[in-house]
Chain A
């Protein structure tokens, strides 16, 4: 459901701190028909060019506020709304080089009425 729209491929940038590329970020939508409190987004797994990013290097910015995965786990009130473009930040030394990259995103949502995790994934070629 909505997998096609999870990765917003024309919204990718390197993160620059003190003149250095320290990672990259991309636009992402929640692949679900309603919004969810952040504590119900159990996993955000990013794989770039085959390299799986460790959870501690992933964070999410929703409505201008940045949350680490550990902060999301205890945040039921702040919501990632239906169709809202949030930004996934990835810490990665040097960021991404100019050109094409293969980006894979897996979101694991804890939807209470489902007896199993809702795991949705998408892969797109992004261009920097």
Chain B
């Protein structure tokens, strides 16, 4: 099928190696490019020492890397530290100012989209829209599980998109909202931390049967008083599943996609998230942005296993090549 889905990698995926200084920023870009992905996504506050400051020399080097590896800057992920100070929430003006800082940062490094952290209010988006337009950087609110595209919070964001008519406001769905079965790397870690294996089995089965999280949590509470067992049940609240078709009515407002994954198998499937179904929906909807790898398995295995983010991303990108 002819389609316009492009492949990208968020450098977040290599966080284990980057954290431990096993890979530097250039090596992360090189690893992403080696998979055949062309889009680079980056969290400024992760990858750039001294964020948000940028020197001219760094900016030159950045675009030099993009040329060298045949990649394009696609998305910068921002944070809004509303609780920057203890017992004092940022004012709306300060929040807009913080977002403008990120818009300028993204613009300088050639990113055309910013991932807006989910906690950002629709009011801030509305105020920032004209500035985003001025700098030609689109703002996509991240829809991250347990939110889904029809959550009340997202409906309010959608209302602002409609009201302003701004082409610079949209969505960035994280595919973690399509967790069809709980990640084994998560439940295995919790078993290592002492969770009861029978409770883990029960919770996984209930989640796969699509029993509502609140019911699973309430049932487990009656089976065990141990915090770790109840934390297993809580996984169902934070790892939701809903029908990928739910994205279809909003497809023209989806700027970019976080292709979250926890555990790519040898057979090029993801254990929890049904990418075959998801990509069918994206094709059907005519999605023409980047499907950006976001590996998040490291935190669940690093206590006992060697993390190999490069191989995990390679596998996911290979799966995308086959499915797109």
**How far, in Å, is A104 (CB) from chain B's closest CB?**
17
Cβ of A4 under 8 Å from chain B: yes
Q: Which segment of B76-84, B130-138, B261-269, B312-320 sits at the interface?
A: B76-84
Q: Given A2-B299, A110-B83, decide whether A34 and B119 contact each other with a Cβ distance below 8 A.
A: no
Whether A16 is near chain B, meaning CB under 8 Å from some CB there, is no
Enumerate chain B residues within 8 angstroms of A126, measured Cβ to Cβ: none
Does B43 lie within 8 Å of A37, measured CB to CB?
no
Contact yes or no, B302 A4, CB < 8 A: yes
- The residues of A that contact B84 with a CB separation of less than 8 Å are 37, 39-40, 76, 112
Q: Is the CB of A29 within 8 A of B86?
A: no
Q: A34 contacts B45, CB within 8 Å? A: yes
- A35 pairs with B19, CB closer than 8 A: no
Q: Does B303 contact A (CB under 8 A)?
A: yes
Evaluate contact between B81 and A33: CB separation under 8 angstroms: no
The dominant DSSP class at the A interface is loop
CA distance A112 to B20 in the complex (A): 25
Contact A34 B79 (CB under 8 A): yes
- Taking CB atoms, residues of chain B closer than 8 Å to A9 are none
Report chain B residues within 8 Å CB of A3: 303
Q: Report yes or no: A1 in contact with B299, Cβ–Cβ below 8 A.
A: yes
Check B81 against A82 for contact (C-beta < 8 Å): no
Cβ of B249 < 8 Å from any Cβ of A? no
Residues on A with C-beta less than 8 A from B18 are: 82-83
| B241 interfacial by beta-carbon distance below 8 Å | no
Which of the 9-residue segments B46-54, B100-108, B284-292 touches chain A? B46-54
Shortest Cβ distance from B89 into A: residue: A112
Q: A1–B302 Cα gap in the complex (Å)?
A: 9
Chain B proximity mask over A28-60: 1 for CB below 8 Å, otherwise 0: 010001110101101000000000000000000
Tell me whether A113 and B86 are in contact (CB under 8 A). Answer: no
Contact residues, A82-113 vs B (CB, 8 A): 82-84, 110-113
Q: Is the CB of B79 within 8 A of A39?
A: no
Complex contact B118–A113 (CB within 8 A): yes
Contact, CB under 8 Å: A35 / B20: no
The proximity string for A residues 1-20 relative to B, scoring 1 for CB distances below 8 Å and 0 otherwise, is 11111000000000000000
CA distance A76 to B83 in the complex (A): 11
A112 & B80 in contact (Cβ 8 Å cutoff): yes
Question: Is A79 located at the chain interface by the 8 A CB criterion?
Answer: yes
Give the complex CA separation of A73 and B85 in angstroms: 7
For the complex of A and B, the 10 pairs showing the least CB-CB separation, nearest first, are A83-B19, A113-B119, A34-B45, A34-B46, A112-B83, A1-B299, A112-B82, A112-B81, A33-B15, A76-B84
Beyond A40-B83, A112-B81, list 11 extra A-B contacts (CB 8 Å): A3-B303, A4-B302, A4-B303, A33-B12, A35-B49, A37-B84, A82-B19, A82-B46, A83-B18, A83-B20, A112-B79
A residues at B contact (CB < 8 Å): 1-5, 29, 33-35, 37, 39-40, 42, 73-74, 76, 79, 81-84, 110-113
Please name 13 pairs of A and B residues whose Cβ atoms are closer than 8 Å in the assembled complex, sorted by A: A2-B19, A4-B303, A33-B12, A33-B15, A34-B79, A37-B84, A39-B84, A40-B81, A40-B83, A79-B50, A81-B49, A82-B18, A82-B47
